[in-house]
């Protein structure tokens, strides 16, 4: 009997099952358009698809009710409910929308990312800022970790997105100290005057108080004319070495006396010639008044005029071959090579090697500083050692640039003549106005009790003061 019951129950169950299946088959269904789970980055407004009611396997136009509270600006998991009422039944379907923050925060460093600092110092934080797309400013959440080679900055946002950035710190000093000399870099000192160190200061990026650590090398012999060097050297704590040099020029001030020689004598001196046109005019005037003069010659003009100067009793003296300051004053050797060249010319013409010379620009020139500090101090000494005697002037006629007017030139000369000194007059026989002024100058001299002489080896030289 029991078996019969069981079969009966099974049959009834089967019947209901069938009934249910058939009813489900005829019930409407909601199908989602798109996925049932959607992940959306926070703040990204997105148009979501909807849902459609299907019945008997076909789309219907039946309206689905949607319950949607998704906030795209706020992270979280949201459920969208789609419902459709079918008689006393409610058909449901859900969709999950997850608003997420997957963007890591950004850390910005103030100051350099690769920083070099002085050895034996600690890095001083220059600042940082952490900004997250969702959390906003999270600078206070930054973890600052000191590492061997720098500083690590780490931060996580509320969604556990992590960022880290490293500031590399190198402890190194490659900058040299700076030595600043007090006083001038080139010092002019009179013979037998003590040298006084004016001092210096040192600045360094990493090492303090370096001024006391400067070592000075080089000596100045104030008893001997010459150019001396003092070198100042200092090293910082990292061994960066700097050095600067001061040039000390010892000069002989006694060479500056210019009221010397025979009182009331006029030495007419002509530089830069000979000149094919003007030198003969001057020679004719000198001849007419039986006046002897001195010609400091160059490589210019015809040889015959040097011969004539010599034969008519004038002194042929040496000026320069090139008359180029750079050539003449860049080195001591350069000076003597130039001088030798013009000396050879004169020797070739008259068979004599003159030793009476005049420096281009005179011994007081400062233009030579552009080429060699102290060269005039050396040369004025050296020429005498080599058997030359140099002659400057104490009256400038102004003919080389001051004037082109013979009358002005005449006035320049006669107004400066002195009875108690020798008068060495600087003129240039390459100038037309000089050839025109010379006769009146001679006449004035003769009428006023002066005598004219050529410079000879025994003549006491007028020396200007040396300025380089
Ligand atoms: Zn000259």
pLDDT digits (tens, 9 = 90+) for 171-195: 999 999 999 999 877 787 888 889 9
CA of 465 to the centre of ligand 1 (A): 18
Given a cut of 90, whether residue 100 has pLDDT beyond it is yes
Within 10 angstroms of residue 20's Cβ, the number of other Cβ atoms is 10
Instruction: Let me know whether 264 and 249 are in one domain.
Output: no
Within 10 angstroms of residue 277's Cβ, the number of other Cβ atoms is 12
CA of 359 to the centre of ligand 1 (A): 8
Given a cut of 60, whether residue 84 has pLDDT beyond it is yes
CA distance 37 to 368: 92
**CATH number for the domain including 266?**
3.20.20.370
Protein residues placing their CB within 5 Å of the ion ligand 1 = 271-272
Residue 117 resides in a domain: yes
Q: What sign has the CA pseudo-torsion 319, 322, 326, 328?
A: negative
**Sorting pLDDT into bands at 50, 70 and 90, what band is 401?**
confident
pLDDT of residue 255: 54
Q: Mean per-residue pLDDT for 48-69? A: 92
Given a cut of 60, whether residue 1 has pLDDT beyond it is no
Owning domain of residue 32 = 26-100
CA of 323 to the centre of ligand 1 (A): 7
pLDDT of residue 290: 98
Question: How far are the Cα atoms of 74, 110, 142, 262 from residue 105, in angstroms, in the given order?
Answer: 17, 16, 10, 98
CA of 352 to the centre of ligand 1 (A): 21
Smallest CA-to-CA distance from 312 within 334, 343, 290, 296 is with 290
Given a cut of 80, whether residue 22 has pLDDT beyond it is no
**Are the C-beta atoms of 319 and 358 separated by less than 8 Å?**
yes
The per-residue pLDDT for range 199-222, each reduced to its tens digit, is 999 999 999 999 999 999 999 999
Residue 460 resides in a domain: no
Share of the chain above pLDDT 70, in %: 98
**Are the C-beta atoms of 179 and 214 separated by less than 8 Å?**
yes
Token pair 């060269």 in the structure block, residue: 375
Given a cut of 70, whether residue 257 has pLDDT beyond it is no
**Sorting pLDDT into bands at 50, 70 and 90, what band is 110?**
very high
pLDDT of residue 225: 78
CA of 236 to the centre of ligand 1 (A): 51
Residue 277 in tokens: 């046109």
Going by C-beta distance under 8 Å and a sequence separation of 6 or more, which residues neighbour residue 444?
410, 414
CA distance 303 to 350: 9
How high does pLDDT run on average in the chain? Answer: 93
The tally of domains found in the chain comes to: 4
Residue 83 resides in a domain: yes
Instruction: Let me know whether 281 and 364 are in one domain.
Output: yes
**Sorting pLDDT into bands at 50, 70 and 90, what band is 16?**
confident
Given a cut of 70, whether residue 94 has pLDDT beyond it is yes
Residue 2 resides in a domain: no
Q: Of 132, 271, 272, 399, which is the active-site residue?
A: 271
Q: Of 428, 429, 433, 463, which is the active-site residue?
A: 428
If you ran DSSP here, which 8-state letter would residue 54 be given?
A: E
CA distance 336 to 358: 13
Residue 207 in tokens: 């090492």
Instruction: Let me know whether 430 and 448 are in one domain.
Output: yes
Instruction: Let me know whether 302 and 231 are in one domain.
Output: no
**Cα distance from N-terminal residue to C-terminal residue, the chain:** 145
Helices (H), 101-193: none
Please identify, among 68, 100, 132, the residue that sits at the C-terminal boundary of a domain. 100
Please identify, among 254, 269, 292, the residue that sits at the C-terminal boundary of a domain. 254
Token pair 């160059």 in the structure block, residue: 298
The order of strands in the sheet holding 65-67 is: 37-41, 89-100, 76-86, 65-67
The per-residue pLDDT for range 112-137, each reduced to its tens digit, is 999 999 998 999 999 999 999 999 99
Smallest CA-to-CA distance from 467 within 366, 337, 367, 349 is with 366
CA of 363 to the centre of ligand 1 (A): 12
Going by C-beta distance under 8 Å and a sequence separation of 6 or more, which residues neighbour residue 155?
105, 107, 130, 138, 141, 142, 143, 162, 163, 164
CA of 382 to the centre of ligand 1 (A): 20
Q: Mean per-residue pLDDT for 21-50? A: 89
Please identify, among 153, 171, 189, the residue that sits at the C-terminal boundary of a domain. 171
> How many residues in total does the chain contain?
468
Instruction: Let me know whether 162 and 185 are in one domain.
Output: no
Residue 157 resides in a domain: yes
Residue 271 known to be catalytic: yes
Residue 300 resides in a domain: yes
Instruction: Let me know whether 143 and 162 are in one domain.
Output: yes
**CATH number for the domain including 32?**
2.60.40.10
pTM above 0.85, yes or no: no
Angle 172-176-181 from CA coordinates, rounded to 5°:
155
Within 10 angstroms of residue 305's Cβ, the number of other Cβ atoms is 23
256 or 18, greater pLDDT: 18
**Are the C-beta atoms of 134 and 103 separated by less than 8 Å?**
yes
Smallest CA-to-CA distance from 91 within 21, 22, 36, 30 is with 30
pLDDT of residue 345: 98
Highest mean predicted confidence (pLDDT) among 177-191, 252-266, 296-310: 296-310
The per-residue pLDDT for range 226-235, each reduced to its tens digit, is 778 999 999 9
Instruction: Let me know whether 243 and 299 are in one domain.
Output: no
CA distance 392 to 443: 24
Within 10 angstroms of residue 270's Cβ, the number of other Cβ atoms is 32
Instruction: Let me know whether 74 and 116 are in one domain.
Output: no
Given a cut of 80, whether residue 331 has pLDDT beyond it is yes
Residue 121 resides in a domain: yes
Residue 132 known to be catalytic: no
Instruction: Let me know whether 324 and 237 are in one domain.
Output: no
Burial 332-370, CB ≥16 within 10 A → b, else e: eebbbebbeebbebbeebbeeebebbbbbbbbbbeebbe
pLDDT of residue 108: 97
Instruction: Let me know whether 57 and 201 are in one domain.
Output: no
Question: How far are the Cα atoms of 26, 37, 59, 64 from residue 30, in angstroms, in the given order?
Answer: 13, 16, 10, 8
Instruction: Let me know whether 157 and 188 are in one domain.
Output: no
**Sorting pLDDT into bands at 50, 70 and 90, what band is 253?**
low
Q: Does 274 sit behind a cis peptide bond, omega within 30 degrees of 0 on the bond before it?
A: yes
Instruction: Let me know whether 300 and 246 are in one domain.
Output: no
pLDDT of residue 56: 86
Give a three-class secondary structure readout of 116-182: EECCCCCCCCCCEEEEECCCEECHHHCEEEEECCEEEEEEECCCCCEEEEEEEEEECCCCCCEEEEC
Highest mean predicted confidence (pLDDT) among 144-148, 191-195, 290-294: 290-294
pLDDT of residue 97: 96
**Sorting pLDDT into bands at 50, 70 and 90, what band is 385?**
confident
Residue 4 resides in a domain: no
pLDDT of residue 241: 97
């Amino acid at each position: 009997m029991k078996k019969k019951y069981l079969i009966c129950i099974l049959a009834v169950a089967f019947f209901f099952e069938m009934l249910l299946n058939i009813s489900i088959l005829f019930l409407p269904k909601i199908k989602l358009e798109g996925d049932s789970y959607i992940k959306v980055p926070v703040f990204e407004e997105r148009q979501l698809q909807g849902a459609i009611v299907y019945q008997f396997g076909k789309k219907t136009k039946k309206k689905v009710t949607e319950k949607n509270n998704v906030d795209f600006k706020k992270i979280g998991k949201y459920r969208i409910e789609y419902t459709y009422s079918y008689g006393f039944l409610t058909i449901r379907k859900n969709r999950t929308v997850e608003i997420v923050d997957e963007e890591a925060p950004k850390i910005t460093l103030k100051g350099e990312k690769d920083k070099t600092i002085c050895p034996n110092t600690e890095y001083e934080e220059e600042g940082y800022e952490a900004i997250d797309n969702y959390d906003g400013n999270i600078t206070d959440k930054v973890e600052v970790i000191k590492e061997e080679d720098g500083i690590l900055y780490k931060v996580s946002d509320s969604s556990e997105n992590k960022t880290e950035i490293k500031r590399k710190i190198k402890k190194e000093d490659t900058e040299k100290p700076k030595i600043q000399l007090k006083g001038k870099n080139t010092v002019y000192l009179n013979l037998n005057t003590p040298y006084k160190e004016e001092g210096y200061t040192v600045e360094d990026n990493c090492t303090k108080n370096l001024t006391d650590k400067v070592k000075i090398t080089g000596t100045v012999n104030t008893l001997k004319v010459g150019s001396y060097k003092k070198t100042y050297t200092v090293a910082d704590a990292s061994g960066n070495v700097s050095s600067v040099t001061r040039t000390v020029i010892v000069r002989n001030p006694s060479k500056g006396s210019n009221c010397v020689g025979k009182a009331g004598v006029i030495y007419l001196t002509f530089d830069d010639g000979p000149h094919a046109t003007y030198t003969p005019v001057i020679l004719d005037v000198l001849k007419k008044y039986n006046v002897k003069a001195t010609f400091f010659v160059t490589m210019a003009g015809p040889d015959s005029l040097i011969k004539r100067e010599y034969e008519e009793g004038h002194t042929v003296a040496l000026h320069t071959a090139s008359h180029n300051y750079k050539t003449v004053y860049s080195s001591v050797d350069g000076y003597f090579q130039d001088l030798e060249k013009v000396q050879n010319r004169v020797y070739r013409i008259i068979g004599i090697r003159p030793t009476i010379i005049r420096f281009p620009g005179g011994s007081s020139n400062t233009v030579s500083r552009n080429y060699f500090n102290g060269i005039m101090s050396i040369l004025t000494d050296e020429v005498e050692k080599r058997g030359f005697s140099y002659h400057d002037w104490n009256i400038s006629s102004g003919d080389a640039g001051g004037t082109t007017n013979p009358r002005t030139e005449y006035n320049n000369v006669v107004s400066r003549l002195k009875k108690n000194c020798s008068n060495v007059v600087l003129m240039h026989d390459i100038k037309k106005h000089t050839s025109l002024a010379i006769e009146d100058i001679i006449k004035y001299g003769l009428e006023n009790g002066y005598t004219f002489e050529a410079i000879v080896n025994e003549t006491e030289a007028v020396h200007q003061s040396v300025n380089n």
